[in-house]
């Protein structure tokens, strides 16, 4: 032992020196470095997570945007279709109304015409009768033999019959 | 020329009752140097590190990985400061031992007890810290003590004793094995570093130019390898003690490390 130089004092000295170094390096090196490494790892992890989150958000926004666009397009098409349908319906309605109105007016006019003609006819008939009598009186009053008178009346009546 | 290379570290002076040897001086120097370097590395830590901070971060991360990969996340993280300090201290001490001024280059005169009275002898002022068995034995003792503590802490006293006495007939073998770990750890490191120092000294005296540089280069490699072996073996012993009975893989690791 002595030859090898081992002695308790030196051994203890070296043990204490080394233990001090373990303690000192723990405080000065390992702890701060490991904390820093952990912190950096945490930062990187968080950074990557944030990036993934941001990408996901962007994708979601893109999806949302596309969905909205599709919705808007569909809505627009619906509106156009509805409008077209409505206008078509309106057109039909107006057309129908116009047709009905026209028919109604034609019918009314026709009725009015018929009435007027009938009225005119009846008036005319009355006048013709009056006139006939007047003419007859005048003719009779001037000179008329029996044969002529008969012929006249017969003709008149025949004609009047035709007028009817 | 007579080459003077004693196995024991030489006493330089007395600090009260304590005889201070040249290797004790060197180890204190290494401790102070490392503490200063570590303080410089972490005094203003940046999230985006500079080169110096990055270097230390790399070292710490490498040693943490070594520790955690071998002994598991929980145990590895707890014993990591010890394992890392083994590596950093041994590496620094070994490489510092190669510097001019440490080892047989700067001599001081000290009075030594001789056959009649005292004798003035010339001894190196600094001696590579690991070229002293006291240093390596102190670390080996610490290492194997922590191995036992870790074993008890993880497996409980019963588990630890069961592990030590399985099969019961081999209990003395297990105990001797544990003790031999101390000796092997201490002697391997001491032998390599002391031997290297002697080798370089011999080379200097034989061929003073070029050739010693080759051996110094080899010593740089050996210094690194010994630091790695000491810390890897320590963590392997801890892993074995905490895992509870995977003796074969441990023996393989042991054999591979030799």
Which chain B residues are closer than 8 Å to A20 by Cβ? 31
Contact criterion met (CB below 8 Å) for B134 and A14: yes
Test the B interface: residue of A33, A36, A38 with most B CBs within 10 Å:
A33
A69 vs A143 pLDDT, higher one:
A69
- Interface check B131 vs A, CB under 8 A: no
Contact A24 B133 (CB under 8 A): no
| Buried b / exposed e along B5-32 (16+ C-beta atoms within 10 A) | eeebbbbbeeeeeebbbbbbbbbbbbbe
Give the model confidence (pLDDT) of B20-73 as tens digits: 888 899 999 999 999 999 999 888 888 888 899 999 999 999 999 999 999 988
| pLDDT digits 0-9 by tens, A8-56 | 888 999 999 999 999 999 999 999 999 998 999 999 999 999 999 999 9
pLDDT in tens, A115-127: 999 998 888 888 8
ipTM above 0.90, yes or no: no
B252 pLDDT more than 70:
no
Phi then psi for residue A124, to 5 deg, are -60, -45
What is the residue-wise DSSP string for A23-81?
A: HHHIIIIIHHHHHHHHHHHHHHHHHHHHHHHHHHHHHHHHHHHHHHHHHHHHHHHHHHH
Rounded to the nearest 10°, the torsion over CA A37, A38, A39, A43 is 100
**DSSP string covering B163-221, please?**
HHTSSGGGHHHHHHHHHHHHHHHHHHHHHHHHHHHHHHHHHHHH--SSHHHHHHHHHHH
Q: Over the stretch B215-236, which tens digit does the pLDDT of each residue have?
A: 889 999 999 999 999 999 999 9
Rg, chain B, Cα only:
21
Its domain, for residue B208, covers 2-257
The residue of chain B with its CA nearest to that of A43 is B47
Q: B121 forms bridges with which residues in the sheet?
A: B110
Secondary structure (3-state) at B136: helix
Residues of A in contact with B6 (CB under 8 A): 5
B255 touches A at CB < 8 Å: no
pLDDT: which is higher, A135 or B225 = B225
> Is A4 within 8 Å of chain B by CB?
yes
For B112-134, how does the pLDDT look when each residue is reduced to its tens digit (9 = 90+)?
766 676 777 778 888 888 988 99
> Which among B104, B95, B99 has a CA at the least distance from the CA of B199?
B104
Q: Which of B20, B23, B38 sits opposite A29 (nearest CB)?
A: B38
For A120, residues 6+ apart whose C-beta sits below 8 A from its C-beta are none
Q: Are B188 and B229 in contact (CB under 8 A)?
A: yes
User: Is A1 part of the contact surface with chain B (CB cutoff 8 Å)?
Assistant: no
Predicted pLDDT of residue A141: 67
- The count of CB pairs under 8 A between chains A and B is 121
Residue B162: Cβ-neighbour burial (10 angstroms; 0-12, 13-18, 19+): middle
Q: Does B141 touch chain A (CB under 8 A)?
A: yes
Phi, psi (deg, nearest 5) at residue B124: -65, 140
DSSP B123: E
User: Rounded distance, CA B208 to CA B205, Å?
Assistant: 6
How many domains in chain B?
Answer: 1
> Is B57 touching A (CB cutoff 8 A)?
yes
Chain B neighbors of A40, CB-CB under 8 A: 47
Which residues have a Cβ under 8 Å from the Cβ of B81 and sit 6 or more positions away?
A22, A25, A26, A30
């Amino acid at each position: 032992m002595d030859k090898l130089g081992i002695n308790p004092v030196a051994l203890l000295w070296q043990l204490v020196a080394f233990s001090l170094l373990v303690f000192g390096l723990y405080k000065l090196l390992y702890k701060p470095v490991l904390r820093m490494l952990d912190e950096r790892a945490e930062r990187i992890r968080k950074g990557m997570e944030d990036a993934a989150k941001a990408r996901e958000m962007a994708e979601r926004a893109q999806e949302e945007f596309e969905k909205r666009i599709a919705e808007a397009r569909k809505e627009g098409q619906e509106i156009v279709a509805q409008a077209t349908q409505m206008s078509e319906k309106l057109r039909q309605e107006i057309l129908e109304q116009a047709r009905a109105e026209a028919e109604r007016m034609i019918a009314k006019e026709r009725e009015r015409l018929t009435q007027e003609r009938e009225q005119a006819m009846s008036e005319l008939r009355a006048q013709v009768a009056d006139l006939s009598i007047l003419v007859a009186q005048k003719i009779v009053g001037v000179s008329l033999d029996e044969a002529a008178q008969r012929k006249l009346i017969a003709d008149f009546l025949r004609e009047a019959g035709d007028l009817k | 020329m007579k080459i003077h290379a004693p196995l024991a570290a030489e006493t330089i002076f007395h600090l009260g009752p304590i005889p201070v040897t040249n290797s004790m001086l060197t180890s204190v120097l290494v401790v102070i140097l490392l503490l200063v370097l570590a303080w410089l590395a972490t005094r203003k830590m940046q999230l985006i590190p500079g080169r110096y901070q990055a270097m230390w971060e790399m070292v710490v991360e490498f040693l943490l990985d070594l520790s955690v990969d071998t002994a598991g996340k929980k145990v590895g993280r707890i014993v990591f400061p010890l394992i890392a300090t083994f590596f950093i201290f041994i590496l620094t001490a070994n490489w510092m031992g190669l510097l001019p001024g440490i080892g047989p280059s700067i001599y001081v005169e000290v009075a030594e007890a001789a056959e009649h009275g005292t004798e003035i002898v010339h001894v190196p002022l600094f001696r590579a810290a690991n070229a002293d068995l006291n240093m390596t034995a102190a670390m080996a003792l610490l290492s194997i003590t922590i191995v036992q503590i870790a074993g008890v802490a993880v497996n409980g006293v019963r588990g630890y004793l069961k592990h030590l006495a399985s099969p019961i007939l081999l209990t003395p073998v297990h105990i001797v094995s544990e003790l031999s770990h101390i000796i092997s750890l201490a002697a391997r490191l001491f032998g390599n570093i002391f031997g290297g120092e002697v080798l370089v000294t011999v080379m200097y005296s034989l061929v003073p130019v070029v050739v010693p540089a080759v051996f110094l280069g080899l010593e740089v490699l050996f210094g690194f390898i010994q630091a790695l072996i000491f810390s890897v073996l320590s963590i392997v012993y801890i892993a074995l003690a905490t895992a509870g009975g995977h003796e074969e893989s441990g023996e393989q690791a042991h054999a591979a490390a030799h």
